[in-house]
Amino acid sequence: MENDNRIWFFIRKSLLGGLLILLPISIIAFFFKWIYDAATGLIAPFTGLVVRFFGLPKFAADWVVVAVLVVFCFLVGTLVATSLGSWLWQKLEKRGMERLPGYRLVKEVTMQLFGGSQDSLMRGEVARVWLYGRQVPATVLGLITSRHEDGHLSVFVPTGPNPTSGFIYHVHEDLVERRPDIPVEQMMKTVVACGAGSAALLSKE
């Protein structure tokens, strides 16, 4: 009986150990495959042209198109960084692009996500927030994304395990404790882990 228990314990421990190693790798592989499939789907028309004219395999054509797009983005960014390029883009944007439905919204969201503005999610500062007042011992961790002239702060509180979704609260700064000692990346890890690791994070001073 004791030998059976040892065998069962060994099998369970080995299976669990293998699962803990292979499951994260599988999730990462699935995530990158999803990104690759989404990206290749978007550039499929250009890939088709490269395959047709140069006879390259689809996989190689995908990378050629990606490389061309990266170089193109670099050239556009370099051009806009110059005085003449910036002036031309402002004129084009004001007379043409801003008239397109939804252009301003998409631009503002993009700037928020990639840090193109002062009030940006990527530049957010980790803070502990007393949503229901200091007298209520219930707090949340969030990112300060905007500061108001009247002393209020806008705080984004992500939800686990998906940190890209969450709630936006506008609270007075008296209810906010800034935590510059907590990196945004570490905070997001606790969100993905549904709160696991928060004790060590909040104990930092």
> Is 90 within a domain?
no
What's residue 28's pLDDT? 83
Cα angle 134-121-33, degrees, rounded to a multiple of 5? 125
User: Which residues contact residue 103 at a Cβ distance below 8 angstroms, ignoring those fewer than 6 apart?
Assistant: 97
- Mean pLDDT of all residues belonging to the chain: 83
- State how many domains the chain has: 2
Q: Look up the CATH number of the domain holding residue 193.
A: 2.30.30
> Is 165 within a domain?
yes
Residue 104's pLDDT band, with cuts at 50, 70 and 90, is confident
What single-letter amino acid sits at 194? C
> Is 139 within a domain?
yes
User: 76 near 69, Cβ under 8 Å?
Assistant: no
In Å, how far are 13, 18, 172, 197, 204 from 22, measured between CA atoms? 14, 6, 46, 22, 32
> Is 107 within a domain?
no
> Is 51 within a domain?
no
d(CA 48, CA 159): 40
d(CA 187, CA 120): 17
What's residue 13's pLDDT? 82
What are the tens digits of pLDDT across the range 33-43? 888 888 888 88
Residue 143's pLDDT band, with cuts at 50, 70 and 90, is very high
User: 184 near 192, Cβ under 8 Å?
Assistant: no
* Domain assignment of residue 157, given as a range: 121-202
* Residue 183: cis peptide before it, omega within 30 degrees of 0: no
User: 183 near 125, Cβ under 8 Å?
Assistant: no
> Is 104 within a domain?
no
d(CA 197, CA 79): 45
> Is 79 within a domain?
no
What's residue 142's pLDDT? 92
What are the tens digits of pLDDT across the range 52-100? 888 888 888 888 998 999 999 899 889 888 888 888 888 888 877 777 7
What are the tens digits of pLDDT across the range 8-31? 877 888 888 888 888 888 888 888
Q: Is 91 helix (H, G, I), strand (E, B) or coil?
A: helix
pLDDT at 111 over 70: no
> Is 74 within a domain?
no
Outline where DSSP puts E strands in 130-165: 140-147, 152-158
What is the average per-residue pLDDT within 179-199? 86
What's residue 98's pLDDT? 74
What's residue 115's pLDDT? 55
